[in-house]
Structure 1
Amino acid sequence: MVYIRTDANNLVATGHIMRCITIAKKIKTFNEEVVFIVKDDDTVKMIGGKFKYYCLPSHEITDIYNEIPFIREIVANDKNAKILLDLYIFDAIYMSLIKSFSKVITFDDIFKEFFPVDMIINYNPHYYIYDYQTRYHNWAGKLLLGESYVPLREMFENACSDENEKVKNIMIICGGGDSNHILHKIEKRICEDELYQNYTFHIIAGFLNSDYDKLVEIAKDKRINIYRNVYDMAAILKKMDIVISAAGTVLFECCKMQVPTIFFCVADNQKDVVKGFGAKDVMIYAGDIRDDEQQIINNIFENIEFLAHNYEIRKKMRKLMGNMIDGKGAERIANAIVTL
């Protein structure tokens, strides 16, 4: 059996739980049962009855190590337990304690320390900046590195956006919680510049976005559409000519759909993304929103106009995107976990 320990809340991007659900679905196609281990009610809502889950007693857990006895009890009767960990808070000590009673798989796109686990996954295009081979030279585990392991949902496997010479539709998205309220600030700028006169904007508010009502109110009587709890993202991206996004999972979806994209950073773990998507001219990097928020927003809108008036540049970006991701990464990860 495969257990997945993850969470989603206002502090943790929803990308963690989304990719875990995607991988879990593929694991089930290999006739392996999947059980989620979570600590937040919001995570339970996102699982939505799709999988069996255990909810840890958060009132009894003061730090990450306190939860380990509860996890040990959950998997106690499973001699072949495999646990996929997907939160940045889990460190090497935590992983070594989990490994004492289970096989352990984890994502690692920060390369901060040696992880004593059985499998490490980093599907970012900039994985090559980290020297995995030296760090894990005498290690008996398995490395899954590069874009071949991007865990996209099934809807993206054979999907691609429509190519239009004229830019009409622009999507804007910023993770599940958007704790910096970036969507609200960008929407206000759209209205101040009356850009909704030239383009139709599609703003995707995440499941945990606290500004949803404000976004809807500002959008009234304008060519601004607000979405929440979007499931069929491929259907929306198919119609988009440009996307503005934080540097999260959506970048991989945009890449697979071949939608010219402008991205920005909102967290430390996103800083190196520019060395992958940005450095290869696959996408345009607007900057880290935490460094100079107003300037980054200015950069976003300058680049919207740049792309809107440069069809040849957009065509080049689409071609580069089309060569990067095939949409079968989740299946490859699932197969590697099941056969571990």
Structure 2
Amino acid sequence: MKIAFRTDASREIGTGHVMRCLTLADALRAKGAQCQFICRPHQGNLISTIRTRGYDVSELPPMALGGSLASEMHMFQLAHAPWLGCDWTQDSEQTLAAVRTIKPDLLVIDHYAIDSRWEEVLRPHVRKLMVIDDLADRRHLCDFLLDQNWFGDDMSRRYQCMVSDHCVSMLGPGYALLKPEYTTLRNLMPPRDGEVRRVLVFMGGSDPTNETGKVIDALAQPGLEHLVVDVVLGVNHPDPRGIASKAEARLATNLHSGLSSLAGWMARADVMISAGGSTSWERMCLGLPAIVISIAENQTATSKAMMEAGYIDFLGDRSDVEVQMIAAAVRRCLADSSRLRRMSRTSQDLVSGSGAERVCEIVLG
């Protein structure tokens, strides 16, 4: 089977969409599928990363929205419409040109700026169409829908009236797209003891408001200096030099960048301080308790639901979270090992690590 992915990364979009598509592409390739990507070269794109992983990329023309057009798109179209870099009609036409060359059997779309209107243009030119989404804020014309987020035990109504009756919906962390190494590590690791000695910090591939710096400041507060801290910077972090300076000033702080996987560092850590994106499912698979800060609007609802269910300690939106709040959350972890053990067990119950395999079985038939 030949499969094409339409997805983008940028400083505004972040890296998560491309990275989870790469995970799915790897799983599909392992089963004999041929995969290719269609991307627009926004500032902060991951096209070179995709090619390094062994996939061809059809690059759409670089585009730059003018201020008036971007404003108009925000007012009258989808909330994330400017993420395409052009009007959806233009993007669909350019993508269609690439699809006619690639001739895929399946087109996978992971993009908040695409809805049923765009999909209607491409649908006649592929056998099947799959959408990866997190928002449930627009209609889709697709054969398969994947939303790996968690909003409570009953996810069945989340896309009601947004997809057709024939669409196969894959909803919840049971379908979370994780690399095989997470399942391997999960099976090798002993149960966590709830003691906090090492903290892992990762605020996503972009971290535009530099929450990483805020977290390092929190971990430098009195009573927390003894903790070993591993700070991971994403490829689009806005101030790597500033973070390096903060890391150097705090004892027992290690700075890492350019990592292809967090699995090994998650296995070493006792607690993670992170954003509420797709990294959540990786750490939950490994039973790693977390303090979570939402760095994007789409992370807030699922983070609140997970907090209410006892899976995480959610501090709120980045604009509301202060250094002392983070420090207080870490102190709560230090004071309650039984709570951390419970968070670890329940996290692993929710995320098995076999999601990519399950998705492949359904998509490949």
| Residue equivalent to 1:204 | 232
| Cα 1:185–1:34 shift into 2, 3 Å | same
| Residue equivalent to 2:26 | 25
Q: Equivalent of 2:59, from 50, 55, 58?
A: 55
| Cα 1:80–1:243 shift into 2, 3 Å | closer
Which 4+ runs in 1 deviate beyond 6 A? none
One-letter amino acid matched to 2:110: D
Residue 80 (structure 1) shift: 5.4
| Alignment root-mean-square deviation, CA | 2.2
Q: TM-score, normalised by structure 1?
A: 0.91
One-letter amino acid matched to 2:109: L
- The answer to whether the 8 A contact 1:75-1:81 is kept is no
* Higher RCO, Cα 8 Å, sep 6+: 1
Q: Equivalent of 1:81, from 88, 105, 122?
A: 105
3-state secondary structure, aligned to 1:114 = coil
| Residue equivalent to 1:68 | 92
Matched, 1:183 2:212: yes
| Residue equivalent to 1:213 | 241
- The answer to whether the 8 A contact 1:167-1:308 is kept is yes
| Residue equivalent to 2:288 | 259
3-state secondary structure, aligned to 2:107 = strand
Q: TM-score, normalised by structure 2?
A: 0.85
Number of aligned positions between the proteins? 335
Q: Deviations over 1:97-149 (max 9, x none)?
A: 22232232112221112211111111112163562474268522211112220
| Residue equivalent to 2:300 | 271
CA distance in structure 2 between the aligned counterparts of 1:133 and 1:273, rounded to whole angstroms:
15
CA distance in structure 2 between the aligned counterparts of 1:274 and 1:59, rounded to whole angstroms:
33
- The answer to whether the 8 A contact 2:140-2:162 is kept is no
Matched, 1:323 2:349: yes
- The answer to whether the 8 A contact 1:196-1:224 is kept is no
CA distance in structure 1 between the aligned counterparts of 2:286 and 2:108, rounded to whole angstroms:
28
CA distance in structure 1 between the aligned counterparts of 2:141 and 2:353, rounded to whole angstroms:
29
Q: Deviations over 1:257-304 (max 9, x none)?
A: 1111111211111121124422210111111113x242xx43322111
- The answer to whether the 8 A contact 2:51-2:57 is kept is no
Mean CA deviation greater in 179-188 or 31-40: 179-188
Matched, 1:106 2:131: yes
One-letter amino acid matched to 2:19: M
CA distance in structure 2 between the aligned counterparts of 1:244 and 1:36, rounded to whole angstroms:
32
CA distance in structure 1 between the aligned counterparts of 2:343 and 2:86, rounded to whole angstroms:
47
One-letter amino acid matched to 1:111: A
One-letter amino acid matched to 2:112: Y
Residue 87 (structure 1) shift: 1.4
Q: Equivalent of 2:264, from 224, 232, 235?
A: 235
Residue 70 (structure 1) shift: 2.4
Residue 194 (structure 1) shift: 4.9
| Cα 1:211–1:143 shift into 2, 3 Å | same
Residue 85 (structure 1) shift: 0.7
Matched, 1:337 2:363: yes
User: Where in structure 2 are there 5+ consecutive unaligned residues?
Assistant: 65-84
Percent of paired sites with the same residue: 19
Q: Equivalent of 2:120, from 85, 90, 96?
A: 96
